[in-house]
Amino acid sequence: MHPPASSKPPPRVQIEDPQPVIDCGRYAVKACVGDLVEVSATIFRDGHDRVRALVRHRGPQAREWSESPMHRSDAELGGDRWAGSFTVTAQGRWEWTVEAWTDAEATWRDELERKIAGDAAADLSAELLEGAALFSRAAARARGNDRDVIEAAATALADPRTPEARRRELALAPELLAACERHPDRSRSTLMAPEVAIDVDRPRARFGCWYELFPRSFGGLSGVREQLEGLAELGIDVVYMTPIHPIGHTHRKGRNNALVAGPGDPGSPWAIGSEEGGHTAVHPELGTLEDFDALVAAAREAGIELALDFAIQCSADHPWLREHPEWFYHRPDGTLKYAENPPKRYEDIYTLNFDCDEWRALWQALLEVVEFWVARGVRIFRVDNPHTKPLAFWEWLIAQVRAREPDVLFLAEAFTRAAPLRALAKIGFNQSYTYFTWKNSRAELEQFVTELASSGMQLYCRPNFFVNTPDILTEYLQQGGPPAFRTRLVLAATLSPSYGIYSGFEHYENVALAPGSEEYLNSEKYELRARKLDGPLLPLVTTLNTIRREHPALQRLDNVSFLAAENDALIVYAKSAPGETLIIVVNLDGARVQEGVVIVPSGLGLAPAFEVVDLLSGERFDWRLGRNFVRLDPAERAAHVLAVAAAR
C-alpha cells in the first residue's frame, strides 16, 4: 500500500449536479443580455461542519472572476441544494463555476451555541481558547475595521481575566461572524471543474415579429424599401426575404411546380445561380448590390432588421459547377444528382457534397458567403434545411462568424425529427422553426409548449412560431377560414416570444394545390405576384405587436402556465413578469361559439377577486380565483388577452 501522492489533503466539500448544464457541459446554455442567470448545485461535506459557497462568473474577454453568494435553497427540508444568481451584461461567451469551502468560524460558533443551550453552566474555557486561536488566524486575513473587530474578539477570548459571560457574548456577536464571513479561509476550497459556458445574445435572439416576403412580389429591393414604413407601423421587427440571388435556367420550374417553365416563368428563388453569379450576387431583376445597401440602411433607420435566406444549394447554372465540380454529387454515369425529398423532387436544384475530398474548401467558401453579407450589414440569416448538412459544419461556421460578429443570429428551418432539431439548437442556432404549425388541439398545444418551456429545452432552443410558410398551408387554415387565421395569429403572438408571418396570411390565403396537399395553389415560389400591405388581418397584427412590446410577460417562453378550462375547445394560459400577469383565452374552434369555465389557481399569486382588462378590445371584467365563465364567438373575436388590472 502506498500513501496518497499529493502532499495537500484533498478537499472535503463535494459539489454535484450543477445546473443549468446541457449534456454534461458539452454545449453552452443560452441567455440574452440583461438576463438573471440562476444556478444551483448539490453541495455537502462529511461530518457536521458548516459549508459556504459562491458562484464565480466572468464575461467575454474578462480576466478576473466576479462572485455572487449562494444559499441553501432547501434548508427547510434539510437538504443540500444551493442556489445563486448573476446577471449577464454583455454579448458573447460567459463562464461560471461554483466554489465551496468549510466555514470554520461558523462551525465553531454553531457548536458553542449548542453547548450553551444544552448546559448554560458548563465550563467552556477550552472551547473559548480554541475560538481565540481560530479568530487570530481570521484576523490575519482581514482588513480595515473587520480586522479590528476580529482581533479584539481573539484577544478577549484568550484573556482569562475577561469574565466568561463577556467572552461568550463576544464569541456569539453577529458582527464578529459577519466580519469573518467577509474574509473566509478558502485555501482548501473545492472548485467545480470544468466551468459551464453560457452564450449570451442580444434580445432579438429571443423576441421579435418576423414577416416573410418574396422581394420580386413587392417590386424588387427598391419596392421592399418602400414598404418599410408600413411594416414598421405593423410592429414588424424582422423582414425575412427569400433568396435574392440569380435564378438558374436549366430545368427551371414553371407555375405550380411544373417541370417545364413557360417563357415568362421566373423560376424558384431557391434554384440559386446563373451566368449573373451565385450566392454573393443579386438577381438583376431585383436590383443591384447598391440597391441592397440602400435597403439595409433604410431598414435600420425604420428600426427593422433584414434577414437573408442562406440556402446551400445550386442550380445547374451556378458558377460553382464550372469552378468546383468536385463539390457536387455525381452518379456512376457522370450525371449530377439533383435534390429530392420523396415524393418531392427538385430537378432545378443540386445539393453540395459535404463528403467530397475538398470538403475544407467547400466549408471555407460557404463561410465566405455568410461573411460577404455580414460585411454588407446583414445580422440575421434564416438557414434553409440545416438538418440536411453536417452538424459539425454548422457548429464550426456559427462559431467562426459569431467570434467576430456576436450580433449575427441564425434561424434554423429545422422541420425535422426532434433529435436533429434539438441538436441544431445546441450547437449554436439562435432560433428554430418548430412543429407549431401542426399543433392544433388543446392537448397538442399544451404538451408541445410545456416541453419547449420547461423540459430543459428552454435552456438552448428558442422557438419561432411561424404561422405559415411558402411550403406549409395546413389543413386547419385550409378549412377554417378567417377565424382559423385569427386563432393561429393570437396563439403564435402570445405563446412564443418570436413568431412569423408569410405574406398572404393577412389575406386569408387558404387554397391548396390539391386535396391533402399543404402546397399553395399558384404558389408564389414559382410565379410573380403583386403584393401590397393591405390585408384585412393586419390591424390585429398591429394590435398584438403593440401588446407584445408593452408587456414583458409576452417576451419570454419559460413563464407560461396552462390553466384548466371545462371545455377542450378553449385553451387558457397565463404569463407573468414582475408587476404583471396576463391570462389568455383562445377559442380553438373557428366554426362555433364556445363557452366554458376557466379556473384560476391561487398559485398565480393573484388576489381572491380582481379586475381584468381585455387588451384586444378594452373591455373590463370582474374575475376571481376559482371559476370564471368565458364565451367566445369566432365571428366576433378569437380570444381574450386579459391583463390583471392594478389594484385601485
Please give the positions annotated as active site: 384, 413
Q: Is there a contact between 378 and 411 (Cβ–Cβ < 8 Å)?
A: no
CB 527 within 8 A of CB 262: no
How many CA atoms are closer than 13 Å to the CA of 51, on its beta-carbon side? Answer: 28
Question: How would you list the strands of the sheet with 36-45, edge to edge?
Answer: 13-19, 36-45, 81-87, 71-72
Helix axes 125-141, 104-118, angle to 10 degrees: 160
Cα→Cα distances 582→49, 453, 542, 624, Å: 46, 17, 19, 14
Output the DSSP codes for 377-445. T--EEEESSGGGS-HHHHHHHHHHHHHH-TT-EEEE---S-HHHHHHHHHHT-SEEE-SGGG--SHHHH
Residue partners of 245: CB distance under 8 A and separation at least 6: 269, 272, 273, 277, 278, 279, 281, 282, 283
Phi, psi angles (nearest 5°) of residue 241: -100, 130
Strand ranges for 207-351 from DSSP E: 208-213, 238-241, 305-310, 313-314, 338-341, 344-351
Phi, psi of 563 (to 5 degrees): -105, 155
Answer whether 585's CB lies under 8 Å from 579's CB.
Answer: no
DSSP secondary-structure letter at 206?
Answer: T
Phi-psi region of 303 (alpha: psi -120 to 50; beta: other; left: phi over 0): left
Candidates 325, 246, 256, 252; CA nearest to 281 is 246
Residue partners of 630: CB distance under 8 A and separation at least 6: 565, 570, 585, 595, 596, 597, 598, 640
